[in-house]
Amino acid sequence: MEEKIRELLAGIVHPETGRDLASGGMIDSISADSERIVLTLRFAKTRDPFAAKLKNQAQELLSEAFPAAQVMVVVREGAPRRAEPANKTTTGGIGRVIAVASGKGGVGKSTVTANLAVALRNMGYRTGILDADIYGPSQPKMFGVEDYLPEAVHEEGIDQIVPAESMGISLMSIGFFIKPDDALLWRGAMAVNALKQLIHQTRWGRLDFLLADLPPGTGDIHLSIINELKIDTAVIVSTPQQVAVADVRRGVELFRNPQVNIPVAGIVENMAWFTPAELPDNRYYLFGKGGAREFAESHGVDFLGDIPIVQSIMEGSDGGRPASAIDPRVEEHYRDIAGKIVDKLTKTEE
Ligand code: ADP
């Protein structure tokens, strides 16, 4: 199918350069099955005046050729961040990768990741989580699969690691390979090598979205992950009292660095207000109100939404079932944010 798509795209010519999309290197990635085709086109020039036109042509051509599939064409600008790895990897079947980051630990990044994954699954998307938080891998616990022992299989010419499955979500975690007490020893090359292996050798199969739970902060480990994993967008999580702090700004800047060049989908304000279980309609803004919105506005970042402090969110994470899988009122917050992220990823970029 991919070959057929490339063949079709070879028929579309860039009016200025005279090169066709295929041989001119404008195809960044193709992910295709009978239901869905996601094509990313890349134009070396920023604001290429022909980008929108070529995108529409590709969209029309593919929709016509594959009437049963939902066709999504996205445009990116600038030279590719890196060449596709020469070695075989298992990331080819993944539609989009969403990185979830935070300036500091403890703000609820992993909880947001887990609940967004459940919301995306509830929206009908095939979803996976890569828990790359080497300092505190908490996804196995949140999904109740702490005892999972990943099995290795040899398929399609590579050794692959089978992810855990919980609630229809594929989960691979660095936590399956290290004891929590050893996490601090896992800095540097060892952690990077292990993460590389998880990124390239996990048997993800076909996923619409892979959520990557990044370690907190902005260190070398982030750059290594960014180099290995083709991240489509980043979501930054903060609490109200942390939002004005330099760590959050550094988080945004990390992705915006011209060498990195990953779009920031926006910021999520977690623990934005307190809602006691017995008074689910009351809101107490314990740590101040509106900080994330202001931060977003002043830094040119979108505000994706806020999530209250709810007892069931904490209990869900501790109990092996994210609250979004149990409580529809809670799920609504995450679904709203997930919807915005999906819209951004699928929206026409002009
Ligand atoms: P991080 O990944 O940023 O280190 P976690 O996701 O592990 O943070 O969250 C830290 C703690 O806060 C956990 O105990 C989690 O259950 C709790 N928590 C996170 N978000 C909420 C929330 N919205 N309401 C209540 N508890 C929360």
Q: Sorting pLDDT into bands at 50, 70 and 90, what band is 117?
A: very high
Residue 324's pLDDT is: 96
What is the per-residue pLDDT for 248? Answer: 87
Residue 301 has pLDDT above 90, yes or no: yes
Domain 89-349 has CATH 3.40.50.300: yes
Cα-Cα-Cα-Cα torsion 172, 75, 37, 167, nearest 10 degrees, comes to: 30
Q: Rounded to the nearest whole angstrom, what is the distance from the C-alpha of residue 342 to the centroid of ligand 1?
A: 23
Ligand 1, atom 26: nearest CA belongs to which residue?
A: 314
Longest dimension (CA), the chain: 66
- Tell me which amino acid residue 274 is: F
Residue 84, pLDDT score: 45
pLDDT range class, residue 186, cuts 50, 70, 90:
low
CA 111 to centroid of ligand 1, rounded, Å = 5
Confidence bin at 314 (pLDDT 50/70/90): very high
User: For residue 70, what is the enclosing H or E element?
Assistant: strand 70-77
Do the domains spanning 2-77 and 89-349 agree at the CATH topology level? no
What percent of the chain is predicted at pLDDT more than 90? 59
Q: Where are the domains of the chain?
A: 2-77, 89-349
The SS3 assignment for 10 reads coil
Determine the residue of 104, 109, 314, 315 to mutate for testing ligand 1's pocket, defined as the one with the most ligand atoms within 8 A of the Cβ atom.
Answer: 314
Integer Cα distance of 215 and 107 in angstroms: 12
Q: Is 110 in the pocket of ligand 1 (CB under 6 A)?
A: yes
* pLDDT classification of 87: cutoffs 50, 70, 90: low
Atom of ligand 1 nearest to the CA of 271: 23
The fold adopted by the segment(s) 2-77 is GMP Synthetase; Chain A, domain 3 (3.30.300)
What's the average model confidence in pLDDT over 292-300?
88
**31 sits in which H/E element:** strand 27-32
Average pLDDT on 292-298 reads: 87
pLDDT band at 62 (very low <50, low <70, confident <90, very high): very high
Confirm whether pTM is higher than 0.85: no
Average of per-residue pLDDT across 228-242: 92
Mean pLDDT value across residues 217-246: 89
Is the separation of the CB atoms in 224 and 254 below 8 Å? no
The larger pLDDT score, comparing residue 334 to residue 43, is at 334
